[in-house]
Amino acid sequence: MKDFAGKIAVITGGGTGMGRELARQLVAEGCNVAMCDVSEPAMAETKRLCEVEKLPQGLRVTTHVADVAIEDHLRRFRDELAEQQKTDKIHLLFNNAGIGGGGSLFTNTREQWERTFNICWGGVYLGVRTFLPMLVAADEAHIVNTASVNGFWASIGMNQAHTAYSSAKFAVKGFTEALINDLRLHAPHVKCSVVMPGHIGTSIVSNSRKVQSSDGSDRLNADEVALTRKRMVAAGVPDADKMSDDDIQAAFAERARSFLEDAPTTAAEAAKIILDGVKAERWRILVGEDAKRLDERVRATPEQAYDRAFYESFTQEVGWRLG
């Protein structure tokens, strides 16, 4: 697929971050976009940004509220876009939606763990299941599944568990790689790519908290304050056990801000790398120099990948401040 003009793209998690930037860049290339998200206001802002420059006549940008972990939501999304986009086919599927959280089998609830896993893995699997007939109906099509560097390195540091997200992203990576030959055998005009970003400047920290808590607030509740304090103590933050609840709230807000604003790769840069990878029909798309370096390191010394020395030397090399 050498260009996107006149094509129809589906994007999950289109309200913020890479999903928003994928929508903006696809629309700029003349591609119709149907996006879903759990946040209607966030999608409205994405649509507004897409329409800042007047859309070409007939180009359509539609928004649909859906939780990708719920199959009925995705089926409704599919049916709505078929009607509103006036189509029985799509050319591009970006399974981009994801959240963090639920990192530990010990300190997080089963509900938190499975919420993360069901969105990050289930949303990809159900997305492909739901939209595959519409992709096959097109003359050419491409599935783009967002994994992470945590799809080949299941950690964000020595002091924080990261099991739900990493498990999901490993599943996404393996599923997409297995799809390569499945598609080649049964629908050779449909291609697929797995995207593995490093640290990208998005609102995933704050958005994950909102989704996990279901209250839509930017502030931690009492249980989250206590858990955050415990994590900070474990991470060796000076006097974390003496910090007030307001201090903990401020520390969380700063972490969310820093993850968004201080990342080595912006969401817009990530979207361009992804779209260029699709045009080049690359099945494996690493996003960011940190992702490339981490991939090289894990491949070179897999047995040491979870040792403290590995993490400390890598973070010093790329400037990560996570975990």
Angle at 119 between CA 217 and CA 67, to 5 degrees: 65
Higher pLDDT, 110 or 203: 110
Across residues 256-260, what is the average pLDDT?
Answer: 70
- Segment 48-57, tens digit of pLDDT: 999 987 888 8
Q: Is the pLDDT of residue 4 over 90?
A: yes
pTM of the model: 0.90
Lowest mean pLDDT among 59-73, 78-92, 105-119, 235-249: 235-249
Residue 56's closest CA among 3, 1, 2, 5? 5
pLDDT for 242 equals 84
**What is the residue-averaged pLDDT of the chain?**
91
Q: Is the pLDDT of residue 315 over 60?
A: yes
Lowest mean pLDDT among 37-46, 85-94, 170-179, 224-233: 224-233
- Segment 127-170, tens digit of pLDDT: 999 999 999 999 999 999 999 999 999 998 888 899 999 999 99
Q: How far is CA 40 from the centre of its chain?
A: 18
Residue 156 tokens read as 């964000």
Q: Is the pLDDT of residue 316 over 50?
A: yes
- Segment 209-219, tens digit of pLDDT: 667 766 667 78
Angle at 199 between CA 196 and CA 205, to 5 degrees: 110
pLDDT for 323 equals 39
Higher pLDDT, 270 or 205: 270
d(CA 268, CA 283): 20
SS3 label, residue 130 = helix
DSSP track, 9-52: EEEESTTSHHHHHHHHHHHHTT-EEEEEES-HHHHHHHHHHHTS
Across residues 270-284, what is the average pLDDT?
Answer: 98
pLDDT for 274 equals 98
- Segment 280-303, tens digit of pLDDT: 999 999 999 999 999 999 999 999
